[in-house]
Structure 1
Amino acid sequence: MSARGRRSGGADTRAEILDVARGLFAAKGYDGTSVRGVAREAGVDPALVHHYFDGKPGLFSEVVGVPAGIEEQITAAVAGPHEGAGERVVRTFLRVWDGPEGRDRFRALVGAVASHEEAAHLLRDFVSRSILRSLAHIFGDEDVLPDLAVAAVGAQLVGMALLRYLLEVPPMADADPEEIVAVLAPPIQALLVP
């Protein structure tokens, strides 16, 4: 006689939850996907999803390959006075990605986005939902900080990361983080606070 109800966590349960979540996030986006829905599709209790991934933000971060808590770190970086926001954003970006584990995650993320449309869709959803909304909320309406300015901030940061972590172009790869802050913070500040 087989056991009834939801199955408990096992060796492959975490991976199965991730597979289900990847499919649901791709099909329904972040807002349309719930922990309960993922748990139902995976045949597990929602508490198990919370246990493995610390809720929906952690699950989503795991699916797209961004570090857990990145949304809160970005919000904290821009939440202070408008003066110095560019410097705080660059420092936060470097703090998240500059260590060996961060570099490996960035390489994996770029590889996934370049080769899988699903990963690109998920990352696009994450960036527009969390980063753009956070910046717009903190800095005001789009007349003050248009979406294009926010996208340009992202372009500068991702461009720096591509040169530093993926292509390892010597001037950028060899630079001290403080040198990068000194070079990137002023143009990012000008975009955030025109």
Structure 2
Amino acid sequence: MEPFRTLQSRTIVLAQQNIDTDQIIPARFLKITHRTGLGRWLFADWRYQPDGSPRPDFILERPEAQGAQVLVAGDNFGCGSSREHAPWALTDWGFRAVISSSIADIFSNNAVKNGLLPVRVDAGFHRRLLAEPGSVVSIDLERLSVTLADGTAATFPLDPFARYCLMNGVDELGFLLGQEKAIARFEETRP
């Protein structure tokens, strides 16, 4: 994983509430077991017409979406079944963070394990982001804050271990492998 310390990006707003993991990446695309290639199927049922052609009015197909790394979503983002494919699709498309006033716990856990930062902000800050698509935000993982161009800021919670892993670009297995010498020393002292 790429380390995540700070990020400055325009936002893409997808204001729908209760976006579940089957809407993020429909079940028919869950046959693959690798993390790449799913970005093209992100929000497939909303993004493409029945004949497979893109819907030009869907936000990911519009020119202003290109290069944006922060998705602002409606309340209760990532609800539904647990599938790592959802954060895989989001990161493969290019997102580094998702901001909402509420994000499902299972989705949040899968997200941080795959390099995607789930940012939960208060309702007032969230409403402002929803009302101002394309806003530039600065996310600081050290300070656990999101700041708008005018200086308005909000803080967000994040588990300290998840924060450590994101900031250092390691997943749980990478963290354990980084402790190999300490584990070996401990094992040497055991009878």
Do both share a fold (TM > 0.5)?
no
- TM-score, with structure 1 as normaliser: 0.29
* Higher RCO (CA < 8 A, seq sep 6+): 2
More strand by share: 2
TM-score by length of 2: 0.29
